[in-house]
């Protein structure tokens, strides 16, 4: 059988989609009205999100960027943090280009979403205007529904390079040869992996797509290796220089120590920072994974949409693209379960692909005999999507009533940062005893230098019997005694391992703190200790 030309139906479908009709029946226009409503709500939610401030992990990573930019302190060598090296380089670039302000944070957030929306629409345009417009609108609703803590999280940031990788894999207008296409797809997934290493697994369905569709089945054996090699080379173009940079900084040994000895212990914690074993862990894992990040209600539509689109666009390349999207969704749907940590932002790559699959159900079927049941299904889809995905969160409900969004952690961050701004003098350092409770966020706002290599103290309160944890404890005490900080910010939070029932004590740290410091400020779940002045 004659192999189909690359310019056959897939290329024609691009032209068709530009001129396709939104609809010509009451059912079509009802669907269009629903899409317009989704777009309007998505834009409204995005507008409201421009009034949000950074929260949770985002200020922590901005602070690492500040450490690199203002104080010349480099990851692993000078501060202990489990993120992969690309995360630090990215935030170093972010703070250099955009700064540390909340306005810069908002600007970057809107620009990033606009880029994701543009790539998503371009990726889905061959399935028609309705699908192309609905896909980013659905993702906007899924994304913003989680509130301020989701904005610019690492798992959300990787959506853009992943989306670009998929677009490069399928796009014909770039006129790339097989090798350059595979190379550039590898580069995009390399960027994603530099931020979150496990994101590279999403390249597997894309690799199979390139082999089966771009390479052709008649040379599949050779194409498997050929395509994989070029994709791997693209990934190395990104990851290789980062690892060489660590070696040049003398940061390779602490990097390897952290990833070899500490990361397995860190990954044993659940998403809510508990250490569970046996049946308790199994029950936790099943209870969380079955929710699929809160998107389980969309799964019937996410399966029906690709089936409908494959019947409407039955050419080989259209169906292969749908299969690729399904494969990427499966991979990113499994990743939180493999890690055993189920925070909402861990599901963002899955939510993005899911929005594309759901949008496929809105494809316009040109066959009149099938239109009635199809249109009826689409109306149900829109009702479900709007009823659940577009339900406003707490912050949005406040904003819709004309009320301001409360400051991060009920004002705790601003109280601490105001104190630091007023009291810090040149040469002073600060040691946080916290994780995501606001101490680092306050230090970011006050541009406060870090006293030791440890940004957080949760490392010291899990796996107490492990020699590596004991070594970390001793390393903290040694650094504190060698260069005592002016202030220590202690925060107690129910999410923190040290504040959970049965948590191990750290008596040596308590003795050091109470022996040379006194509380000078106390507020909502925090204490600020100051070093006692010698007479």
What are the φ/ψ torsions at residue 479 (nearest 5 degrees)?
Answer: -70, -40
Q: Cα–Cα distance between 306 and 351 in angstroms, integer?
A: 16
For 243, residues 6+ apart whose C-beta sits below 8 A from its C-beta are 85, 252
> Per residue of the chain (535 residues), what is the pLDDT tens digit?
333 433 333 333 333 443 455 555 556 677 787 788 888 888 988 888 888 899 888 999 999 999 999 999 999 999 999 999 999 999 999 999 888 888 888 889 999 999 999 999 999 998 888 899 999 999 998 888 888 888 899 999 999 999 999 999 988 766 667 788 899 999 999 999 999 999 999 999 999 998 887 655 555 655 788 888 999 999 999 999 999 999 999 999 999 999 999 988 887 766 556 666 666 767 777 877 888 888 888 888 888 888 888 888 877 888 889 999 999 999 999 988 887 777 888 899 999 999 999 999 888 776 654 555 555 666 666 666 566 666 777 788 888 888 888 898 889 999 999 999 999 999 999 999 998 889 999 999 999 999 999 999 988 988 888 899 999 999 999 999 999 999 999 998 777 777 777 778 899 999 999 999 999 999 988 999 999 875 4
Structure tokens at 418: 């105001």
Within 401-462, residue ranges assigned H as helices are: 412-423, 439-446
Helix, strand or coil, per DSSP, at residue 290 = coil
Spatial CB neighbours of 277, under 8 Å, sequence gap ≥ 6:
none
Distance CA 481, CA 219 (A): 66
Measure the CA–CA gap between 355 and 352, rounded to whole angstroms: 5
**pTM exceeds 0.85 for this model:** yes
DSSP H/E element including 528: strand 526-531
Boundaries of every domain in the chain: 275-399, 408-531
Residue 514: other Cβ atoms inside 10 A:
11
């Amino acid at each position: 059988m004659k192999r189909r030309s690359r310019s056959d139906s897939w290329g024609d479908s691009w032209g068709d989609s530009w001129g396709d009709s939104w609809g010509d029946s009451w059912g079509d226009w009802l669907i269009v009205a629903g899409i317009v409503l989704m777009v309007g709500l998505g834009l409204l939610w995005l507008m409201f999100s421009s009034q949000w401030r950074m929260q949770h992990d985002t200020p922590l990573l901005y602070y690492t960027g500040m450490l690199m930019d203002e104080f010349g302190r480099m990851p692993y060598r000078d501060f202990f943090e489990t993120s992969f090296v690309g995360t630090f380089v990215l935030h170093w670039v972010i703070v250099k280009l955009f700064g540390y302000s909340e306005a810069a944070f908002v600007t970057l957030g809107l620009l990033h979403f606009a880029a994701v929306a543009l790539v998503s629409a371009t990726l889905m345009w061959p399935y028609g205007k309705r699908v192309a417009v609905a896909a980013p609108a659905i993702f906007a609703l899924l994304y913003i529904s989680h509130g301020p803590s989701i904005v610019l999280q690492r798992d959300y940031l990787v959506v853009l390079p992943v989306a670009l990788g998929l677009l490069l894999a399928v796009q014909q207008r770039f006129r790339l040869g097989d090798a350059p296409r595979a190379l550039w797809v590898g580069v995009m997934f390399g960027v994603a992996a530099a931020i979150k290493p496990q994101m590279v697994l999403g390249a597997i369905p894309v690799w199979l797509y390139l082999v089966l569709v771009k390479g052709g089945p008649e040379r599949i054996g050779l194409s498997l290796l050929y395509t994989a090699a070029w994709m791997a080379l693209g990934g190395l173009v990104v990851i290789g220089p980062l690892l060489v940079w660590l070696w040049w900084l003398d940061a390779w040994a602490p990097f390897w120590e952290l990833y070899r000895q500490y990361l397995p212990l860190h990954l044993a914690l659940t998403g809510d920072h508990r250490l569970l074993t046996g049946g308790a862990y199994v029950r936790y894992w099943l209870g969380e994974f079955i929710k699929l990040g809160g998107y389980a209600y969309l799964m019937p539509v996410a399966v029906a949409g690709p089936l409908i689109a494959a019947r409407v666009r039955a050419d080989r390349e259209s169906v292969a693209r749908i299969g690729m999207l399904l494969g990427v969704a499966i991979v990113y749907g499994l990743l939180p379960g493999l890690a055993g940590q189920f925070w909402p932002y861990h599901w963002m790559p899955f939510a993005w692909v899911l929005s594309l699959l759901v949008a496929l159900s809105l494809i316009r079927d040109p066959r009149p005999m099938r239109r009635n049941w199809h249109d009826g299904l689409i109306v149900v889809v829109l009702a479900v999507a709007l009823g659940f995905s577009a339900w406003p969160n707490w912050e949005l409900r406040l904003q819709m009533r004309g009320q301001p969004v409360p400051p991060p952690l009920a004002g705790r961050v601003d109280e601490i940062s105001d104190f630091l701004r007023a009291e810090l003098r040149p040469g002073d350092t600060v040691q946080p005893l916290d994780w995501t409770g606001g101490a680092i966020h306050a230090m970011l706002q006050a541009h406060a230098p870090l006293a030791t290599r440890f940004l957080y103290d949760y490392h010291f309160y899990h796996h107490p019997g492990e020699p590596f944890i004991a070594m970390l404890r001793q390393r903290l005490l040694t650094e504190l005694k060698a260069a005592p900080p002016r202030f220590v910010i202690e925060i107690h939070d129910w999410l923190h391992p040290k504040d959970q029932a049965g948590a191990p004590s750290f008596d040596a740290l308590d003795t050091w703190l109470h022996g040379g410091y006194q509380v000078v400020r106390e507020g909502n779940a925090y204490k600020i200790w100051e070093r006692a002045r010698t007479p």
